[in-house]
Structure 1
Amino acid sequence: MNGPSPTPGEIFYNSLASELKPQEVPPPVHGPQHRARQARLAQWIAQQGGGIAVLAAGEEIIRNRDNPFPFRSHSDFLYLTGFPEPDAWWLMRVDDKGNTETVLACRPRDAEREIWDGIRVGPQHAAQRFSADRAIDLSSLDDTVIALAGDMPAFYAHMGMDAALDERLRHWLSAVRAKGRAGVNAPDRIVDLGAAIARQRLIKDSDEIKTMRRAAEISAQAHVRAMAFTRPGHHEFEIEAELLHEFRRQGAQSVAYGSIVASGPHSCILHHRAGSRPVRDGELVLIDAGCELDGYASDITRTYPANGKFTPAQRAVYDVVVAAQQAAVHATRPGVLLSDPHDAAVRVLAQGMLDLKLVAQSSIDALIESGDYKRFYMHRTGHFLGLDVHDVGDVKTPLAAGMITTIEPGLYIRPADDIPTEFWNIGIRIEDDALLTAADVELLTRGVPVQADAIEGLMRG
């Protein structure tokens, strides 16, 4: 007896599945490194007495109707697995001796959905390609977690970030407790996993540094292209288009954050998104933009004159910001706190405010102590950079070799009765990505000029 005829989706699916050999499944970006990262995390969990770690990739978020936002896995999930698909889960059972079992749960292959959304990896290839001992269908997730959690002292997971995840953890914990009459001991606590992974992520391994170096190169070339393109009359969105085209042309998958292209008075708005305003002769253009490559961010800011020539007032302010960045760079080295480069930059900026007669105080110390300098400089001088553009770590974190930070002082002078008019609407920020080495710092983003004379030379062509 003949069975039902295959649907068009099944025909398409079967034709692709028959051609898709295991070696053709896209490999993870940093495959061998994921195992090493998992091993470091397992060592820490073993030191705490063992347990089961649970991480979620996250779900697709619908933008409107059936149109989702582009999906990107949670950064901790990417760091440990490299797996790119939504709805996935990663599990690691660790005993007190450090023995581990890792499981990747992912969506099954699906004939109909793959016509619309593309080929899925599926459990049959996931373990081999994405650093897990075994892979399972999502339908088996609950049973697998409950089985792995038996006789383990703790769950390790992100807590307080997602209500649905918190509820699911409570469900799993209750299910294990229900097996108590069968002699199974349930975990007695849930430990937040974020801080432990953050400590690892702060120090970049060789593959991460290679990727971030390339992301910095791409972003620098995009800034050069946008700078050379800019002329009075161009709109902010046209300049942004030059950046985006160069990012994609060179293989970056996305922007690391919404690109800031701010002209004239917009340069004094810290996070102004490119709009329809035309750039006017005599104005500055501030671009804060970076690409994301294989999950890793770059972050560059440059400020330049739309007509290719700084006015005397613009140049005076610009040179102060350059000097502040140089002071922050010199203060960036292993052993200091992230706040130390900020303090160094603030002193130079404060002196500049006094020299330009933007403030009434009589000394740097008085200006800093009063906090009045924040009228013109209201943000920090840097942040950590990695899988997130504002990466894990805080101002009290001691710097160490292998960390990557930004160094980004600025001055923002809005129109006011007590400010000379030649300084009105001058907003300047200069930002580079800095890799901490054993004794010093390497700026990864100097492929785009910083010095005013070099910028003017580039714009002259």
Structure 2
Amino acid sequence: MNLSDITEFKKRRQALMQRMQAGIAVIPTAPEAVRNRDSHYAYRFDSYFYYLTGFKEPEAVLVLLAEDANKGRPARSILFCRDKDIEREIWDGFRFGPAAAVTEFGFDEAYSIAQMDDMLPKLLASQQTLFYSLGADAAWDAKVTGWLNQVKAQVRTGVSAPDDVADVRKLLDEMRLFKSPAEQALMRRSAGIAASAHRRAMQKVHAGKIEYEIEAEFLHEFYRFGAQAPAYTSIVAGGANACTLHYNANNARLNDGDLLLIDAGCELDGYASDITRTFPVNGKFSAVQKDVYELVLAAQAAAIAKVSPQSHWNVPHEAALDVLVQGFIDFGWCRGSKDAVLESGAYRQFYMHRTGHWLGLDVHDAGEYKDKHGDWRMLETDMVLTVEPGCYIRPAENVPEHFWNIGIRIEDDVVVTANGCEVITMDAPKTVADIESVMAQ
């Protein structure tokens, strides 16, 4: 299943206009980005814009006008987009154009992007509130300011500029936090492709290969099953490189006896998967590697067990941390009671990040982690998050040498359900026995 049904996007636009209550929203898509000279990066739409439109072309803007019964104004959705241009299509590919955008995407109206500067001041006139993400893009801020100034210059004609500017992303963040059945189906497909890629990597790795050769196996699997791109720059980190959280050089040779940490996911029709697996280059965990790995695996299991509508956001992190800290004490890396280690933060030498993040159209997806009172928000059905504890052991005087340069992270994608949660990335081998079995094939 995909999000080709325009009904999904129309419902989102209607829901946003209801949340606005009154006023006008202006939501541009992302600009094209120059890679070098006259070559561009592969285009990727703005997630907020796409969430409301399903429209993937650049140079497009969505304008929503909420219903105003007092003034007799119906709700309207308007798209500004590139004109249909056969000459440019020969060079750059297909364009819908305004006429087709109305019929194919369900907008009430659509116009050429060339008409935007003329029409926006008229649409802004006498609106109570402008919903726009001020500060997100300086060039767009300048455009919007110019339109508002045009409206203000007409005050003697009886029109007025919006009194307030509200962040439209704040409304959309809350909407995007809850995934529809169609979104969840797409994320399961994305997760399945990424899981298959991790399995492939386990089967292709051996000592002497270079990290980027394993990264290439991921790209092969992503594209083979229809994903459009990696969801983020893949981390393929052998040996000591795994102790650098955002390592992405991916150019070191893999050594017999080292572990390989891979944090990689794909993007399918805009939706990200995000999986991390750590496994031995030679296919067999050493005794020390196995001990540390099973500690991290136990921490992840404890965290996943706490993902449910009965928990607030931080409960899974606290569960993982409880297991990890006890393990650090048992290994002799941290001294004192568990409470003392937690209070002092000494554990951060080995575990310095949190245990997850929201997942969706962005790999670090939209949505607040605390409520308006500053308390951790409760998990709710249809939220999607990652669970990813880790352990990173750099050389240090307080750590026996046989532990040095072990870096382990285990990450899965999890949907909150009515009674608990569903791990949608389970097809990526995770237990010691399963990993060693897959690598032996």
Per the normalisation by structure 2, the TM-score is 0.95
Summarize the alignment of residues 17-166 of structure 1 with structure 2, pairs less than 5 Å apart: 29-46=4-21, 50-97=22-69, 99-166=74-141
- Equivalent position amino acid for 2:209 in 1: H
Aligned counterpart in structure 2 of residue 257 of structure 1, from 218, 232, 255: 232
What's the counterpart of residue 157 of structure 2?
Answer: 182
What's the counterpart of residue 223 of structure 1?
Answer: 198
What's the counterpart of residue 339 of structure 2?
Answer: 365
What's the counterpart of residue 360 of structure 2?
Answer: 386
Contact 1:28 1:129 in 2 (8 A): no
Contact 2:173 2:368 in 1 (8 A): no
What's the counterpart of residue 214 of structure 1?
Answer: 189
3-state DSSP class of the match of 2:263?
strand
What's the counterpart of residue 413 of structure 2?
Answer: 433
In the aligned structure 2, how far is the partner of 1:237 from the partner of 1:379? 25
Point out the structure with max Rg over C-alpha. Answer: 1
Contact 2:125 2:160 in 1 (8 A): yes
- Equivalent position amino acid for 2:76 in 1: E
Aligned counterpart in structure 2 of residue 375 of structure 1, from 324, 336, 349: 349
Moved more, 239-248 or 101-110: 101-110
In the aligned structure 1, how far is the partner of 2:234 from the partner of 2:391? 19
In the aligned structure 1, how far is the partner of 2:134 from the partner of 2:429? 43
- Equivalent position amino acid for 1:421 in 2: E
- Equivalent position amino acid for 1:308 in 2: G
What's the counterpart of residue 15 of structure 1?
Answer: none
- Equivalent position amino acid for 1:95 in 2: E
Question: After superposition, what is the alpha-carbon deviation per residue over 1:83-129, rounded to whole angstroms, capped at 9, x for unaligned?
Answer: 11111000011133493111100011234322221121111211111
State yes or no: 1:313 paired with 2:288.
yes
State yes or no: 1:448 paired with 2:428.
yes
3-state DSSP class of the match of 1:313?
helix
User: What is the CA-CA distance between 1:335 and the residue it aligns to?
Assistant: 4.1
- Equivalent position amino acid for 1:385 in 2: L
- Equivalent position amino acid for 1:79 in 2: Y
In the aligned structure 2, how far is the partner of 1:77 from the partner of 1:306? 42
In the aligned structure 2, how far is the partner of 1:448 from the partner of 1:80? 32
User: What is the CA-CA distance between 1:276 and the residue it aligns to?
Assistant: 2.3
State yes or no: 1:415 paired with 2:395.
yes
- Equivalent position amino acid for 1:371 in 2: G
In the aligned structure 2, how far is the partner of 1:95 from the partner of 1:276? 56
- Any gaps of 5 or more consecutive residues in structure 2? 371-376
User: What is the CA-CA distance between 1:382 and the residue it aligns to?
Assistant: 0.3
Contact 1:383 1:394 in 2 (8 A): no
What's the counterpart of residue 218 of structure 2?
Answer: 243
In the aligned structure 1, how far is the partner of 2:341 from the partner of 2:313? 22
Question: After superposition, what is the alpha-carbon deviation per residue over 1:24-53, rounded to whole angstroms, capped at 9, x for unaligned?
Answer: xxx97342100111111111111xxx1110
What's the counterpart of residue 285 of structure 1?
Answer: 260
Aligned counterpart in structure 2 of residue 304 of structure 1, from 271, 279, 289: 279
In the aligned structure 2, how far is the partner of 1:395 from the partner of 1:119? 40
- Equivalent position amino acid for 2:52 in 1: L
In the aligned structure 2, how far is the partner of 1:55 from the partner of 1:343? 38
What's the counterpart of residue 383 of structure 2?
Answer: 403
User: What is the CA-CA distance between 1:395 and the residue it aligns to?
Assistant: 3.2
What's the counterpart of residue 336 of structure 1?
Answer: 311
What's the counterpart of residue 294 of structure 1?
Answer: 269
3-state DSSP class of the match of 1:262?
strand
- Equivalent position amino acid for 2:117 in 1: D
In the aligned structure 1, how far is the partner of 2:80 from the partner of 2:356? 37
3-state DSSP class of the match of 1:105?
strand
Moved more, 54-63 or 270-279: 270-279
User: What is the CA-CA distance between 1:146 and the residue it aligns to?
Assistant: 1.7
Moved more, 71-80 or 171-180: 171-180
Quote the sequence identity (%).
Answer: 47
Contact 2:24 2:63 in 1 (8 A): yes
In the aligned structure 2, how far is the partner of 1:435 from the partner of 1:99? 37
In the aligned structure 2, how far is the partner of 1:244 from the partner of 1:131? 34
- Equivalent position amino acid for 2:427 in 1: G
In the aligned structure 1, how far is the partner of 2:361 from the partner of 2:3? 15
Runs of 4+ in structure 1 off by over 6 angstroms are: none
- Any gaps of 5 or more consecutive residues in structure 1? 1-26
In the aligned structure 2, how far is the partner of 1:148 from the partner of 1:386? 32
In the aligned structure 1, how far is the partner of 2:3 from the partner of 2:360? 18
In the aligned structure 1, how far is the partner of 2:305 from the partner of 2:193? 25
User: What is the CA-CA distance between 1:159 and the residue it aligns to?
Assistant: 1.1
3-state DSSP class of the match of 2:175?
helix
In the aligned structure 2, how far is the partner of 1:58 from the partner of 1:417? 49
User: What is the CA-CA distance between 1:220 and the residue it aligns to?
Assistant: 0.2
Aligned counterpart in structure 1 of residue 298 of structure 2, from 315, 320, 323: 323
- Equivalent position amino acid for 2:363 in 1: V
State yes or no: 1:191 paired with 2:166.
yes
